[in-house]
Structure 1
């Protein structure tokens, strides 16, 4: 997966910090994780994090640690078994399916401009001042020109964005 920029992470943190106290509770963090398809209990999350809330720097560190674990587990060396690479591809595909489902709000198998904008807004990555039009964002990867992304177009977008 591609890394999220620090300023985007800061906006996500600010959106999660509903009461504006400069801390994100484990409940708020767990809500975000569930939205992106990660199911974890609050007890497991607390044992992972080691405390009941995170300030911005701790939130950035938490993201950095899970990102580096993701990157470390997704690298293959020439000494690894081919079966491990196949499992990795299946996991990658499964992760993409989960990510696609987050954006496909109505479950019709397509990501529309409205769905893209709603999800980006919820994550704090979109506002009226963003200046980007979702139709333009979708058009770049919309190979059949139907104005929305199906799973294969979404997958191509993710792989092209990552590389």
Structure 2
């Protein structure tokens, strides 16, 4: 019985590290990258990474950090770009969690896990934490992802209207869940 509890604990750690949907996971990684990239230059330097880890209570020796991360930094770059950061994340995922997250089994907990993933994704869009996604917030995320829809507010507003069932001009969590269940088809 205790070993089952331990397995559940490992599953929870894994699911909090990586979302089940690749598209939601990419959004989450982009948000983390943006938070770590303090000066917004598109690179996470070793110093920025060290500071971010320190703020999270994970003090790392700079030379150890350098030896772990250096191979992911392209020679001509000042630090990790988003693709480098994604590769580092994937390697850490495989090292610590066995990369098993890409093939989740159906279980009684899967609905609760999906709900938790959707809540996490909603937080990525809801930048001010007010419980709603405004057109401005949606536009900001779309721009960060480099999507063309993010360059035109009119297109963003149409996206909001298309899922805004109560017509209040913003997307609440319930509307977001409905939208994501249509957009993100479970594998």
Same structural fold, with TM-score higher than 0.5 when normalized by the shorter chain: yes
| TM-score bracket for this pair, using the shorter chain length | 0.5 to 0.7
Report the alpha carbon displacement of residue 69 of structure 1 after superposing the two structures with TM.
4.3
What is the aligned counterpart of 2:180 among 132, 139, 158? 158
Unaligned 5+ runs, structure 1: 32-38, 78-84
Report the alpha carbon displacement of residue 124 of structure 1 after superposing the two structures with TM.
4.4
C-alpha separation in 1, matches of 2:139 and 2:177: 18
What is the aligned counterpart of 1:125 among 130, 146, 149? 146
C-alpha separation in 1, matches of 2:100 and 2:57: 16
Contact 1:23 / 1:53 at 8 angstroms: preserved in 2?
no
CA deviation map 1:90-147 (0-9, x unaligned):
22212221221232233332111012123334x3435798346211121222222222
Contact 2:142 / 2:149 at 8 angstroms: preserved in 1?
no
Contact 1:113 / 1:148 at 8 angstroms: preserved in 2?
yes
Name the residue aligned to 2:87. 61
Q: Where has structure 1 moved over 6 Å in runs of 4 or more?
A: none
Equivalence map 1:96-135=2 (5 Å): 96-121=118-143, 123-125=144-146, 130-131=151-152, 133-135=155-157
Contact 1:141 / 1:149 at 8 angstroms: preserved in 2?
yes
Summarize the Cα distance change of 1:135–1:128 in structure 2 as closer, same or farther, 3 Å threshold.
closer
Q: What TM-score comes out, normalization by structure 2 length?
A: 0.51
C-alpha separation in 1, matches of 2:183 and 2:124: 18
C-alpha separation in 2, matches of 1:61 and 1:90: 28
Larger Rg: 2
Contact 2:142 / 2:150 at 8 angstroms: preserved in 1?
no
Unaligned 5+ runs, structure 2: 1-20, 74-80
Q: What TM-score comes out, normalization by structure 1 length?
A: 0.57
